[in-house]
Structure 1
Amino acid sequence: MEPGGDVELRGGLKVPASDLVWRTSKSGGPGGQHANTSNTRVELVFEVAKSSLPEWAQARILARCTDPVKVIAADERSLWQNRRLAMVRLQTKLDAALAPTIRRVPTRPSRGSVQRRLDAKQANAERKAQRRRPLPE
């Protein structure tokens, strides 16, 4: 994935580079004077509502992410590497938001598991009954 290019998403969707807003600022961390003078921290902003994605994709992303989607990368000393890292993070975030939800299929407990549960309950009740003070005769 080339920084400044399109972001390819699942299902053949693409976020064109024109929909992305790049901001740079000074990064903290290691790097000495280079870190003090260079704008290597990258913030990548993607406004979902104004994007050219289909409406169903926009709705799914907006249901799971805030608008605009922001990604920050300041891990590397190089601006280019941070841009690449920001694009990968945006792709990962959007792919996760576009993933279809897997619906849980309800299942019934097996007859054996129900019987084991009831046997354990009965054994526990008997154990506690033995701790009680005996009734006077």
Structure 2
Amino acid sequence: MLIERDFRKELNYRTSRSGGPGGQNVNKVETSVTVIWNVAESIFFNQEEKELISTRLKNRINLEGLLQLTVSESRTQLQNKKIATDRIVEMVNICLIKRKPRKATKPSKRQVEKRIQAKKQISEKKENRRFRI
């Protein structure tokens, strides 16, 4: 079950010059957008959800507790800002999906017996290949 949380108001943006296509536009316009979100100070999520986000996105959260994402795909700052915002919202919402616990199962007696019979057959085949004097 996906619970959409829109925490876009808490996002901060930083722009910088980005490489890639754009010709001389790249050298003078700051089109790369970095979106920054402080997970711990969010008012949209409760403590349990914040911990869940922090553990699942621990590789993307820095030591200050900031989740950062940089986008420089488009030639326009506005488009990069939209892409970055959508990605970070989607990333966090996916983290909040509760995973179903795995139920341990045992193979049936029939399956175990079938596997043992197959092993015996292969063993006999290899035994018959032996050279006897």
Partner of 1:4: none
Which sections of structure 2, spanning at least 5 residues, go unmatched? none
Partner of 2:127: 129
Following superposition of structure 1 onto structure 2, how do residues 36-55 of structure 1 map, counting pairs within 5 Å? 36-52=27-43, 53-55=45-47
Give the one of 107, 110, 113 matched to 2:108.
110
Could you say what secondary structure the match of 2:36 adopts?
Answer: strand
* One of 13, 16, 20 as aligned partner of 1:29: 20
* Structure 1 residue 132: Cα displacement: 3.0
Shift of 1:115: 2.7
Determine the C-alpha separation between the residues in 2 that align with 1:91 and 1:97: 10
The question of whether the paired residues in 1 share the 8 Å contact of 2:3 and 2:97 is answered with no
Q: Report whether the alignment pairs 1:77 with 2:80.
A: no
Distance 2:70 2:118 in 1: 53
Q: Which has the higher contact order (CA 8 A, sep 6+)?
A: 2
Q: In structure 1, list runs of 5 or more residues that go unmatched.
A: 1-9
Aligned residue in 2 for 1:14: 6
Give 1:16 deviation, angstroms. 4.5
Q: How many residues align?
A: 125
> Where do residues 61-100 of structure 1 align in structure 2 (5 Å cutoff)?
61-66=53-58, 67=61, 68-100=66-98
Secondary structure of 2:20 counterpart: coil
Q: Return the offset for 1:11.
A: 2.3
Using the size of structure 2 for normalisation, the TM-score is 0.84
The alignment yields a C-alpha RMSD, in angstroms, of 1.7
Q: Distance in 1 between matches of 2:91 and 2:33?
A: 16
In the TM superposition, residue 95 of structure 1 has moved relative to its aligned partner by 1.6
Any runs of at least 4 consecutive aligned residues in structure 1 with deviations exceeding 6 A, and if so which?
A: none
Q: TM-score, normalised by structure 1?
A: 0.81
Query: What letter is aligned with 2:14?
Result: R
